[in-house]
């Protein structure tokens, strides 16, 4: 890799730290996707790789190409801003879809979720206590025959 | 002015994006400006609720708070992942909070903030009651999420949007 | 010289880590157990693939991998939103 020799040593070490931290965060997010038990817990795992993982790698890439080409290269920022806006939207839609599917009795309750608030009934009530929900059922696997019934 | 450029923020952002993606030249500037104007007119046809930003000075403060919270929350989630999800001190659960914020743009921004933070996920907003269903990754019984959200984010968002 | 060697190793580590992350998300896609888990895993896989492209571009000193990463980011967003819409309503365009 000949082009790496053009970088000043301090910048090279800084970029290395950025890249290692960012990719470790992204890897940790994917490990969370495998290890966590219920869907709603897994919904939190990709935000780790998306928030600071993407930020650190984008910053490292920006610094590296700016130093190599000796002009400010900022087009990686577009990826950063784009991910900043879009990933929460997709995760939000996925969460709502999962909630709707879990409330639908025909699909079978794999996970116990709080029921929908009926506006007429709840108007005067205090905030509901939801402590009995949310631990999730165990991941029963794809091939067990009764997983959707 | 408002007929020609109905959404100035969007148009400026599009021109900036076009100039960043291509090398700077006069031709690209004209092309990018044309695309930004056409995109502005197209968005105007869709009649979105126009954001009215009252206080620009609160935006950097909000961005700083959000960046710090996301960093803290990253550390928390990473610790839980490394300890293992079967650790006895780790609970996740649903939380319901009530908002006074009604502006749709402010609500969208709050939803993006809550979802972008690794510890919390925004699941459902009930328009009539203003209640939000959150899923919290590391739920401790002593945390008061209602006042946390209200004091940290909602106050600033109310200042910005209403 | 040694600083550049450190950066080289760091980039290699990061690329291997991203490939491992893509493998883990593939495991979640295959295992499921439900449709929303698979869509979430596909979203994460797109994200990791985008980061991998950025890292390969850094390793080669080639700016043009950036455009591939941008296309992957856009495609990933549209895929996830369409799939979530389909899961919610049963159809994509109403």
Convert the pLDDT of each residue in B64-110 to its tens digit.
988 898 888 888 888 888 877 666 667 777 888 888 888 888 888 88
CA distance C47 to A83: 9
Quick check: is C12 in a domain?
yes
In this predicted structure, the answer to whether residue B52 has a pLDDT above a threshold of 80 is: no
Tally A–C CB contacts below 8 A: 196
Cα–Cα distance list, A134 to A24, A28, A128, B114 (Å): 28, 23, 14, 18
Quick check: is C81 in a domain?
yes
At A18, is the pLDDT very low, low, confident or very high (cuts 50, 70, 90)?
very high
Give strand ranges (E) for chain C. Answer: none
Quick check: is A120 in a domain?
no
Q: In this predicted model, which residue has the larger pLDDT, A11 or A105?
A: A11
CA distance A91 to A55: 18
Is the Cβ pair A28, B116 closer than 8 Å?
Answer: no
In this predicted structure, the answer to whether residue C17 has a pLDDT above a threshold of 90 is: yes
Tally A–B CB contacts below 8 A: 122
Is the Cβ pair C84, A22 closer than 8 Å?
Answer: no
At C15, is the pLDDT very low, low, confident or very high (cuts 50, 70, 90)?
very high
Q: How far is A44 from chain C (nearest CA, A)?
A: 10
Q: What is the pLDDT of residue A138?
A: 40
Q: How far is A96 from chain B (nearest CA, A)?
A: 5
- Name chain B contacts of A127, Cβ cutoff 8 Å: 96-98, 131, 146
In this predicted structure, the answer to whether residue C89 has a pLDDT above a threshold of 90 is: no
Q: What is the pLDDT of residue B41?
A: 85
Question: Residue C32 contacts by C-beta under 8 Å, 6 or more apart in sequence?
Answer: A141, A142, A147, C38
Quick check: is C41 in a domain?
yes
Peptide bond into B29 cis (omega under 30): no
The DSSP string of chain B is -TTT-S-HHHHHHHHHHHHHHS---HHHHHHHHHHHHHHHHHHHHT-PPPP--S-TTHHHHHHHHHHHHHHHHHHHHHHHHHH-TT-TT---EEEEEE-----HHHHHHHHHHHHHSTTEEEEEEETTTTEEEEEESS--TT--HHHHHIIIIIHHHHHHH-
Convert the pLDDT of each residue in A39-77 to its tens digit.
888 888 888 888 888 989 999 988 888 888 877 778 888
Q: Which residue has the tokens 């709840």?
A: A122
Is the Cβ pair B115, A91 closer than 8 Å?
Answer: yes
* Number of independent structural domains in chain A: 1
On whether the pTM is more than 0.90, the answer is no
Burial of B24 by CB count in 10 Å (0-12 exposed, 13-18 middle, 19+ buried)?
exposed
Question: Residue B4 contacts by C-beta under 8 Å, 6 or more apart in sequence?
Answer: B37
Question: Residue B49 contacts by C-beta under 8 Å, 6 or more apart in sequence?
Answer: B104, B105
Is the Cβ pair A142, C80 closer than 8 Å?
Answer: no
Q: How far is B57 from chain A (nearest CA, A)?
A: 21
The boundaries of the domain holding residue A59 are 3-106
Convert the pLDDT of each residue in A90-106 to its tens digit.
988 888 888 888 776 66
In this predicted structure, the answer to whether residue B49 has a pLDDT above a threshold of 80 is: no
Q: In this predicted model, which residue has the larger pLDDT, A24 or B50?
A: A24
Is the Cβ pair A1, C51 closer than 8 Å?
Answer: no
Which residues share a beta bridge with B120? B136
CA distance A48 to B116: 9
The boundaries of the domain holding residue C23 are 2-89
Task: Tell me the percentage of chain B whose pLDDT exceeds 90.
Answer: 0
**Phi, psi of A131, rounded to the nearest 5 degrees:** -70, -15
Is some CB atom of chain B closer than 8 A to the CB atom of A56? no
In this predicted structure, the answer to whether residue C22 has a pLDDT above a threshold of 90 is: yes
Quick check: is C82 in a domain?
yes
Mean pLDDT value across residues A83-96? 88
* Number of independent structural domains in chain C: 1
Which residues share a beta bridge with B96? B133
What value of ipTM does the predicted structure carry?
0.87
CA distance C61 to A64: 9
Quick check: is A126 in a domain?
no
Quick check: is A130 in a domain?
no
- A78, A96, A134 ranked by CB distance to B92: nearest: A134
Quick check: is A127 in a domain?
no
User: Largest Cα–Cα distance of chain C, in whole Å?
Assistant: 60
Taking residue B151's Cβ as centre, other Cβ atoms within 10 Å add up to 11
Is some CB atom of chain C closer than 8 A to the CB atom of A49? yes
Q: What is the pLDDT of residue A140?
A: 40
Quick check: is C62 in a domain?
yes
Quick check: is C71 in a domain?
yes
Convert the pLDDT of each residue in A105-145 to its tens digit.
665 555 666 666 665 555 555 566 565 555 554 434 333 34
Quick check: is A139 in a domain?
no
Kindly state the DSSP code that residue A6 receives in the 8-state scheme: G
Quick check: is C94 in a domain?
no
């Amino acid at each position: 890799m000949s082009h790496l020799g053009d970088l000043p040593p301090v910048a090279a070490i800084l970029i290395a730290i950025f890249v290692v931290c960012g990719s470790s965060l992204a890897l940790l997010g994917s490990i969370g996707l495998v290890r966590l038990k219920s869907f709603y817990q897994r919904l939190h795992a990709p935000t780790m790789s998306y928030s600071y993982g993407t930020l650190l790698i984008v910053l490292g890439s920006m610094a590296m190409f700016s130093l190599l080409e000796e002009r400010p290269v900022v087009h990686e920022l577009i990826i950063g801003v784009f991910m900043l806006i879009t990933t929460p939207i997709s995760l939000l839609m996925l969460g709502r879809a999962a909630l709707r599917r879990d409330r639908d009795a025909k699909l079978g309750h794999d996970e116990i979720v709080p029921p929908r608030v009926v506006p007429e009934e709840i108007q005067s009530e205090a905030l509901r206590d939801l402590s009995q929900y949310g631990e999730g059922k165990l991941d029963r696997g794809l091939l067990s025959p009764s997983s959707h019934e | 002015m408002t007929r020609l450029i109905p959404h100035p923020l969007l148009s400026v952002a599009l021109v900036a994006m076009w100039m960043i993606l291509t090398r700077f030249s006069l031709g690209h500037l004209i092309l990018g400006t044309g695309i930004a104007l056409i995109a502005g007119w197209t968005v105007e046809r869709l009649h979105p609720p126009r954001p009215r930003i009252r206080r620009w000075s609160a935006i950097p403060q909000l961005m700083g708070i959000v960046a710090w919270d996301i960093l803290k929350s990253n550390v928390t989630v990473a610790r839980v992942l490394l300890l293992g999800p079967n650790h006895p001190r780790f609970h996740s659960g649903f939380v319901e909070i009530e908002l006074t914020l009604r502006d749709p743009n402010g609500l969208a921004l709050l939803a993006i903030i809550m979802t972008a933070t690794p510890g919390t996920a925004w699941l459902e907003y009930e328009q009539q009651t203003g209640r939000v269903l959150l899923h919290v990754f590391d739920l401790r019984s002593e945390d008061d999420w209602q006042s946390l959200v209200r004091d940290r984010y909602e106050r600033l968002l109310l200042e910005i949007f209403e | 010289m040694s600083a550049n060697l450190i950066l080289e190793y760091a980039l290699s580590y990061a690329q291997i880590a991203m490939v491992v992350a893509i493998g883990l998300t593939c495991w979640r896609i295959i295992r499921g157990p439900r449709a929303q888990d698979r869509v979430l895993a596909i979203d994460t896989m797109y994200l990791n693939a985008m980061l991998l492209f950025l890292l390969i571009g850094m390793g080669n000193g080639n700016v043009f991998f950036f455009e591939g990463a941008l296309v992957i980011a856009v495609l990933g967003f549209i895929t996830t939103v369409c799939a979530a819409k389909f899961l919610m309503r049963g159809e994509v365009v109403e």
